[in-house]
Homo-oligomer: A and B are copies of this chain.
Amino acid sequence: MIWICFAIFLGACFAAGSTGGLFPPGAWYRDLRKPRWTPPNWLFPVAWSMLYLCMAAAGARVAVSADNALAMALWSLQIALNGLWTPVFFGLRRMRLGLGVLCALWLSVAATCAALWQVDWIAGVLFLPYLAWVSVAAALNFSVLRLNPDQAEGRTAGPA
């Protein structure tokens, strides 16, 4: 059962992560002013692939444990928020709203990490790299927003 759950949680990660391929950074992002410490583009899919494996493993370990209610509800919340950022930032190019989504994601990941830890400390540890990466992503979104204030609100008020 734990392996079936791992595969399903990994499928949820893949669904959220597919937005990265559907809404690629492109020329708009390349031409933005970015901080010196911006990670190279190739690192993002590599990092997310590792994180997804950890997230799915954490979800599966806790799914087969008792008293997992809070952790399972929060795991669902964080994956729903995870899939939202890319369409907002790269699809709509709304950097300010993207930062709001990342802050909500950070809070949900921190809460999920804590709730997982209560059930199974290994699952909690598996969420720590994710929390660290979302912190970097939020700092990057904030810096790019600050360095490109004219681009903060996206291209159009309508659909992308």
Residues of A within 8 A of B (CB): 1-2, 4-5, 8-9, 11-13, 15-16, 18-19, 22-26, 28, 59-60, 63-64, 66, 68-70, 72-77, 79-84, 87-88, 90-92, 104, 158-160
Contacts and interface: CB of A to CB of B under 8 A. Distances in A.
Given A74-B8, A83-B83, A63 B59 contact: no
Given A11-B77, A76-B59, A1 B160 contact: no
Contacts of A18: 84
A9 to B, nearest CB: 5
A73 B91 contact: no
A126 to B, nearest CB: 15
A15 B84 contact: yes
B160 A91 contact: yes
B77 A80 contact: no
B9 A73 contact: yes
A18 B91 CA distance: 14
